[in-house]
Structure 1
Amino acid sequence: MTAVPLILDGYLDELPIPGDDGLTARFRVISSPTDDATDETVFACRTADPHLAHVLLNLMQPGDLLRIGGHLALPGPTDEGGPRMDVDALELLARAPARHLAEMTLDRYGSYLVVFDPDVDTVPVFTEAGIRVGTAEHKDAVTHLIHAHESGSPPPSS
């Protein structure tokens, strides 16, 4: 195999897979010089560095933007397997955006509290004292419900 030094930026494709020894990791990185899907290249990667393996297995998630450095191993005519990146340097450039809320959360709108539940569209609204203001038909109607409560007018209908 021929090894070519390489540094590239790309997105972690899926959760890394631990090696049998627990000190290594395998993962894939998607890189695109133009951010166009037709220009994407998927790099099969592995690291033998226990520290990098720990970071990948415990702190990274799919969609994180990474800068990886190492050597691109290119197989010769008698080698089995395809090209792979042997990673010896890793930098997190940006966390993956939150794709959705996985569980019920409580959020604050000034002196009001709202409950977001990913399983339903309606949003209960309360004062800080725990007095129920009402239920917004969807998250975009929360501020309308709060304004109606503050002005003493009936809540808007959706």
Structure 2
Amino acid sequence: MDTTHTAVDGYLDTLPTPGDSPSTAQFQLIVSPTDSAADDVVWACATSDPRIAQALLTEVQPGDLLRAAGFLTQPDDAAAPVHLSVDALEVLAAAPMGALHGMVLDRYGPYRCVFDADTAAVPVFTEHGAWVGEAPNPDAIDDLIDAYENSSPH
């Protein structure tokens, strides 16, 4: 098993959950070396630092951009997933919407879309939180983004 200290930026995939012992937490980060969703990789992360665990369980939400640093464990079996034991955590950017309970935040390159099962409309933001518009349905997201990119300078 190979272990390396590293830092990685990624989007919080789901709400963190308590770990197996007190003052621990586990979570998943969506990490991508490019802006293409095809390159996304989900990293399994955990922490035993009580301060980080508390922050994860009470202060962050899915879609937040986080920088996690810690020891990356690469198992000898190439098919086994890597695991990051987090010893430092920083919120780089909060998700564009306050509460995403019952909703899914998805990434389209530098854009973020919020899918809600209760409505067909899809709000779209830039990765920096600027409003792009609302697509009437998921099939219209590309048209909305194209119109935004081809309109006046942003």
Q: After superposition, what is the alpha-carbon deviation per residue over 1:38-75, rounded to whole angstroms, capped at 9, x for unaligned? A: 11111000001011000000000000000110111011
Deviation of residue 32 (structure 1)?
1.0
In the alignment, structure 1 residue 63 sits paired with structure 2 residue 58:
no
**2:26 alignment partner in structure 1:** 26
Alignment of 1:59-138 (within 5 A): 59-77=59-77, 82-98=81-97
In the alignment, structure 1 residue 43 sits paired with structure 2 residue 43:
yes
SS of the aligned residue for 2:88 comes to strand
Between 51-60 and 16-25, the greater mean CA deviation after superposition:
16-25
Deviation of residue 5 (structure 1)?
1.4
5+ long unaligned stretches in structure 2: 102-117, 119-154
Q: Distance in 2 between matches of 1:81 and 1:23?
A: 26
Q: Distance in 2 between matches of 1:92 and 1:56?
A: 10
In the alignment, structure 1 residue 52 sits paired with structure 2 residue 52:
yes
Indicate the percent of aligned positions where both proteins have the same amino acid.
50
Q: Distance in 2 between matches of 1:85 and 1:5?
A: 9
Q: Distance in 1 between matches of 2:39 and 2:92?
A: 21
Structure 1 or 2, whichever has the larger Rg, is 1
CA RMSD between the two structures: 2.7
**1:9 alignment partner in structure 2:** 9
SS of the aligned residue for 2:26 comes to strand
Deviation of residue 100 (structure 1)?
7.4
Q: Distance in 2 between matches of 1:4 and 1:20?
A: 23
Deviation of residue 99 (structure 1)?
7.0
Flag the 1:14–1:100 CA change in 2: closer, same or farther, 3 A: closer
Equivalent residues, number: 103
Q: Distance in 2 between matches of 1:15 and 1:40?
A: 18
- Please identify runs of 4+ aligned residues in structure 1 that moved more than 6 A: 99-102
Q: Is the Cα contact below 8 Å between 2:62 and 2:100 reproduced in 1?
A: no
Q: Distance in 2 between matches of 1:67 and 1:74?
A: 19
Q: Is the Cα contact below 8 Å between 2:47 and 2:86 reproduced in 1?
A: yes
Q: Distance in 1 between matches of 2:38 and 2:67?
A: 21
Q: Distance in 2 between matches of 1:84 and 1:101?
A: 26
Q: After superposition, what is the alpha-carbon deviation per residue over 1:79-134, rounded to whole angstroms, capped at 9, x for unaligned? A: x95320111010000000117798xxxxxxxxxxxxxxxx9xxxxxxxxxxxxxxx
